[in-house]
């Protein structure tokens, strides 16, 4: 299983804290997110992505590391991994 956790605006929008998904084989982050959206039957990718790229405000951590430092949406995930998604609070 992989765990996908929603935080901040995404949690408010989805009304749930996250989802767990079993992968038969390693899959790209972008594909995992699309799979999640299908399972949840509620669109949320529009708030994270723009034309297949991460929006400037989207932070996705894979096991605590920003996926932009790895291979962005093409980063491979496998069972046991944890994905945390949030736009951070920007105000002060």
Partner 1 sequence: MGIGGLGCVVSEILVRLGVGKLVIADNGIVEESNLGRQSLYYVEDLDKKKTEVAKNKLEKMTGCTSIEEYFFDVRSKETKKIIHSVNGIADCLDNYESRFALENYLYDNQFLVHGGVERDFGQITTIVKNKTLKLSDIYYNIKIYNETIAVSPISVFAIGSLMAQEVMNNIIGTPMLINKLFIVELSDFSFTTLELK
| Distance in angstroms (rounded) separating the CA atoms of residues 23 and 14 | 22
Pick from 1, 8, 43, 79 the residue near partner 1 by CB under 8 A: 8
38 vs 65 by CB, closer to partner 1: 65
Whose structure tokens read 């046991």? 80
Name the DSSP letter for residue 47: G
* Of the residues 57, 74, 79, 80, which one makes contact with partner 1 according to CB under 8 A: 57
Please identify, among the stretches 20-28, 32-40, 42-50, 53-61, the one whose residues bind partner 1 according to the rule CB under 8 A: 53-61
Nearest residue to 28 via CA among 85, 76, 78? 76
Can you give the length of the chain in residues? 92
Least separation in angstroms between CB 11 and partner 1:
6
């Amino acid at each position: 299983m992989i765990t996908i956790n929603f935080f901040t605006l995404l949690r408010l929008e989805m009304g749930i804290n996250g989802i767990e998904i079993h992968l038969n084989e390693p899959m790209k982050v972008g594909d995992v997110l699309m799979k999640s959206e299908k399972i949840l039957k509620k669109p949320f990718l529009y708030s994270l992505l723009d034309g297949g790229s991460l929006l400037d405000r989207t932070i996705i951590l894979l096991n605590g590391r920003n996926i932009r430092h790895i291979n962005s949406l093409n980063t491979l995930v496998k069972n046991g991994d944890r994905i945390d998604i949030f736009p951070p609070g920007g105000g002060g």
